């Protein structure tokens, strides 16, 4: 069983709509939880970093939440744009390792 599971695996939305991506984890303890965006053919780029004591972190239209009790994180994208089409990866920093989820593939259509 993966230590970091993401849902849905893929998602299609229309431009301008909001969406929420989910991340459930079993990693414990951890230093921080990150959301990365990976465009096709490129390396992942960090969107947000939250320590285990933080509940929410925003970066423009991206808002990440963390519930340490339920071991869940979400990434909410507001007013989606075509450029948001990418894979979104939830990553936990455990000691000196990054543990990656398998990602959610988001496609935004006009």
What sections of 35-109 are H helices per DSSP? none
- The secondary element (H helix, E strand) that includes residue 107 is strand 104-109
Stretch that binds other proteins, among 15-23, 39-47, 58-66, 71-79 (CB under 8 A): 39-47
60 scored as a contact of other proteins (CB under 8 A): no
The residues with which 8 forms a beta bridge, in sequence order, are none
24 scored as a contact of other proteins (CB under 8 A): no
Q: In degrees, to the nearest 5, what angle opens at C-alpha 43 toward C-alphas 39 and 49?
A: 90
Of 62-91, binders to other proteins (CB under 8 A) are 89
> With respect to other proteins, which residue has the nearer C-beta, 57 or 65?
57
């Amino acid at each position: 069983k993966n230590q970091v599971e993401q849902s849905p695996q893929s998602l299609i939305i229309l431009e301008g709509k909001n969406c929420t991506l989910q991340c459930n984890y079993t990693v414990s303890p951890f230093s921080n939880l990150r959301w990365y965006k990976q465009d096709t053919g490129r390396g992942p780029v960090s969107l947000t970093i939250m320590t285990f004591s933080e509940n929410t972190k925003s970066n423009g239209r991206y808002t990440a939440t963390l519930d340490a009790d339920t071991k869940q994180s979400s990434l909410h994208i507001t007013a989606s744009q075509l450029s948001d089409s990418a894979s979104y990866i939830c990553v936990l920093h455990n000691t000196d390792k990054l543990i990656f989820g398998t990602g959610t593939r988001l496609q935004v259509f006009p």
